Amino acid sequence: MIRSSRLLLIAPPEAVHTPALEYAGVLAQTLNAPLYLVAFVHSAAIDLLGHANIANRDKAREGMMDAHRLWLNSETVLLREKGLEVHYDVVWGKPSASELAAYAQQVNADLIIKDLHEEAHLKRLVLSSLDWDLLCASPTSVLYIKQAPAPRLSKFLVAVDIELESEGNAAENDQLISMARQLAEARNASLHLITVYNSDAVDCTNITATVSKGELPSYETRRNVFDALATAHGIAQEHRHFLVGAPANVIRCYIQRNAYDLLIIGSANHHLLSSTIGSTAEGILDNPACNVLALKLPPAVHNAREQMQEGTQVNDVSQQN
């Protein structure tokens, strides 16, 4: 599912070689995957020429688009010299998340690659409002690039939610780790596993029922579950990281102290990233410490979880009646 991917790079409007373009080329070469480059070009000043100057407006648009075609063609030539299958396109307009998602579907992309947005006044790379919207709208996985692939650094960190194991949603973690392993093996990278035990974040809506059953989750219980998950996927002891604290802060600080090329999170994980962005995901992605891949899990995983949730809701209603 990883090795046969089609990659889509959202090219920067500035028409410059960026870390995302560099990473996309390396990834396409590693996976032997076709790479699609698309640049969305727009100028409000040109659009303001209006109907009275249609000829001049169209000429100006084509001029801007031709400049981007020339640039993308030069990038394509360099990539094709490495034996890659590369296609490029230039589209007029300032894209929305839905338009980017639609374009990804149009080219049957399995992965969207995009540079992080540079916030000049903050002096850091962050997700723009478009990036956040794309996380929800995208039909496929999204890879946000902060830095080009390091030639001698190939360490991937996959973040799992250990709570899913006790909630009957273990398939999400299994799929996430399996997909991450495929990518790590393709890149000849070491795969590390991380989870965060947040002892202060027991769900208030469930705490009464949990305590009444005498099943308040303990550090030892969660650690044992995490180790079992890691063992099942062949994760070496030295690559297992079971930490304590507020998940977003802990994961970000851990990556800052330990150099990683890529952080992998699951987009179906309701504690990390769902249709309404979770607090942990927001914390991780607000100022990511490295490149971040939000993997969309296969529909089967989504459907299984939805069916289980529906069954739980039906049982709750039956009990109330």
Domains in the chain: ranges and CATH: 7-145 (3.40.50.620), 155-320 (3.40.50.620)
Which pair of structure tokens corresponds to residue 38? 């698309």
Per-residue pLDDT tens over the stretch 253-287: 999 899 899 999 886 433 344 433 456 666 777 77
In one letter, which amino acid is 135? L
Query: Can you tell me the distance from the alpha carbon of 230 to that of 158, in angstroms, rounded to the nearest whole number?
Result: 11
pLDDT for res 149: 79
Cα–chain-centroid distance for residue 196? 19
* Tokens 């946000």 sit on residue: 144
Whether this model's pTM surpasses 0.75: yes
Task: Determine the Cα–Cα distance for residues 223 and 310; give it in Å rounded to an integer.
Answer: 29
pLDDT at 301 over 80: no
Give the separation between CA 48 and CA 261, rounded to whole angstroms: 43
pLDDT at 54: 76
Does the pLDDT at position 179 exceed 80?
yes
Mean pLDDT of 83-101: 93
Q: What sign for the dihedral angle of Cα 94, 98, 102, 104? A: positive
Q: Identify which has the larger pLDDT, 13 or 303.
A: 13
Residue-level pLDDT at 154: 84
Please give the residue that has the higher pLDDT: either 315 or 52: 52
pLDDT of residue 317: 44
Give me the pLDDT at residue 264, please: 92
Residue-level pLDDT at 200 = 62
pLDDT score recorded for residue 212: 44
DSSP strands (E only) in 224-305: 240-244, 262-266, 291-295
What are the CB-based long-range contacts (under 8 Å, 24+) for 200-204? 201/246
